[in-house]
Amino acid sequence: MGDRLFYERIAEVWDVRMNRYDLERRLDLIFDTFLPRDLTGCRLLDAGCGTGHFSRRASAAGATVVSMDLGVALLQRVGEKCDTLRCAADVTELPFATESFDVVLSSEVLEHLEYPRSGLLELVRVARRDGHLVLTTPNRLWYPALWIAQRLGLRAYHGIENWVWPRELVGWCREFSVEIESVRGFHLFPFQLGWTQGLLRRADGLGVLLQYGMVNVALVGRKRPW
C-alpha cells in the first residue's frame, strides 16, 4: 500500500526532489485560472500542504491560510516560506468545524490516502456553503506508467499511490453536493523529461477537451448552498 508518512520523512529534501515544472503548472492553474487574484478576506485551507508552496501563494494573494499536513517536519518547512496558521492532522479526520473555510484547496493529496473518497468528503464538509473546492490529482488511466517507473527504479517516492478515475472524482463531488465549475486535464504525457516541457505546456491548451485523458486532472467546484 505504501508508506503513509513517507513525505513527512523526506521533508528536508522534498523541495529538491520535486519536479519544478509540475509544481509551477499546478500553481498557475489554481491561482491564475481557478481562483481570483485577490483573496483578501478569504479563509483558505491548504489540505496536504507539503512544504508550503500553495500556502505561500495563497497568503501572498491576501488569504488567511491554514496549512495542514500529517507531520511537524513538513509544517516547519511551511514556516520557512510563509506566515500561516499550521496544523498537523489527517485529511480523513480534519480537526475543523463544519463550514469553516471559504476555499478548500488540496493539490496532489487524495491519491496518497488509503480511502480517497473519505478524504474528499471531509474536504467538502469543512467548506462553507457556496464556498469553493479546488483539487488536483493524477488520473488513474496513467497508473501503469507509475507502476513501470517504480519497477525500473525511476521514481524515488514510496508513499501510498491510490489513484482515482477523473469521472469517479467528479461523481463523488456531485454526490457530496459540489457543483462542478471546471474540470481540465494537464500534462498530455509524463513530464519528467525537461526537453518535452515546452510541448507539454502548449498541449495544456487542450485540457478541457482532453480532461479525462491527461496525466493529471484539476477541478474546481462550489459547495451548493442548499
Quick check: helix, strand or coil at residue 93?
strand
Residue 144 in any domain: the answer is yes
Residue 103 in any domain: the answer is yes
Exposed (0-12), middle (13-18) or buried (19+): which is 81, by Cβ within 10 Å? middle
- pLDDT for 149 equals 74
Alpha-carbon separation of residue 166 from 27, 33, 136, 155 (angstroms): 20, 19, 10, 23
CATH number, residue 79? 3.40.50.150
* Residue entry with cell 471546471: 182
Residue 1 in any domain: the answer is no
Average pLDDT on 57-76 reads: 97
- pLDDT for 148 equals 80
Number of domains in the chain: 1
Average pLDDT on 90-118 reads: 96
Q: What is the pTM of this model?
A: 0.94
Residue 100 in any domain: the answer is yes
What distance in Å separates the CA atoms of residue 57 and residue 77, rounded to the nearest whole number? 15
Q: Residue 218's domain spans which residues?
A: 6-223
Q: What is the mean pLDDT of the chain?
A: 93
Residue 39 in any domain: the answer is yes
Residue 158 in any domain: the answer is yes
- pLDDT for 145 equals 85
Q: Which pLDDT band holds residue 153 (cuts at 50, 70, 90)?
A: low
Residue 140 in any domain: the answer is yes
Report whether 88 contacts 71 (CB < 8 A).
yes
- pLDDT for 72 equals 95
- pLDDT for 1 equals 46
Question: Looking at per-residue confidence, does 145 or 87 come out higher?
Answer: 87
